[in-house]
Structure 1
C-alpha cells in the first residue's frame, strides 16, 4: 500500500478535472472504475477509483482518490493498493507507489 495526502487552495472542479486528466493520461491501461460525487452545504466530495494493469508483474493495482473541498480549501488523499503478488507474502514491485506518484506530481504542479 502507498499513500499520499496534501492540501491546496483552489477551485474544486478545476482540481478534480486536472487530476482526472493527469491520471487518465498516465497510461493506456489506466481505467476509471467508478466515481461518487456528493455536496453537503458548501462542502464538495469526489471519490474516484482507478485500476491499472501492470505487465511487469501480471496484475492490477488500484488507486483510490478522495478530494474534499470547502470554500477554496481542498484536501486530497490518494491510496494505492493491490500491486503485490503472492498469497501470504505481498511482494510488490512498486505498482502502488507508481500510481500514487501520479497524484503527487499533479498536486505539486498545481501548488
Structure 2
C-alpha cells in the first residue's frame, strides 16, 4: 500500500472532475470504478475508486481518493493497494507506487 495526503483550496467538484478525467488518461487499462458524495452540514466527503492492470506485477491495482471539503478548504487522501503477489507479505509494490505517482501528477496538473 502506498499513500499520499495533501491540504489544498479550490472547488471540490472541479477538482474531482479533473481527477476523474486525468487519472484514467495515465494508463490504457485505468478506469474509474465507483464513487460517492456525502454531505454533513457544510462538509462534503467525496470518494473515488480507480483500478488498472499492472503489467510489471501481472495483477490489478486500485486507487482510492477521499476528499473532505468545507467551503474552499479541502483535505485529500490517496491510497493505492493490490499490487503484491505474495500471500503473507508484500513482495511487489511497484504497481501501487506507479499508480499513486500518476494520481499525484494528475493532482499537480489541477489548474485550480
Q: Match of 1:94?
A: 94
Q: How far off its partner does 1:93 sit? A: 4.5
Q: Structure 1 CA distance, aligned partners of 2:12 and 2:57?
A: 36
Tell me the matched-pair count.
Answer: 111
The answer to whether 1:51 aligns with 2:51 is yes
Gap runs ≥5 in structure 2: none
The answer to whether 1:109 aligns with 2:106 is no
The answer to whether 1:84 aligns with 2:79 is no
Q: Structure 2 CA distance, aligned partners of 1:55 and 1:106?
A: 21
Query: Matched residue of 2:65: which SS?
Result: strand
Gap runs ≥5 in structure 1: none
Q: What do residues 18-56 of structure 1 show as CA deviations (whole Å, max 9, x unaligned)?
A: 111111211121122211111222211111111111122
Taking the TM superposition and a 5 Å limit, the aligned residue runs for 1:25-64 are: 25-64=25-64
TM-score w.r.t. the length of structure 1 is 0.90
The structure 1 segments of at least 4 consecutive aligned residues displaced by more than 2 Å after TM superposition are 106-111
**Which one has the bigger strand percentage?**
1
TM-score w.r.t. the length of structure 2 is 0.89
Q: CA RMSD in A?
A: 1.5
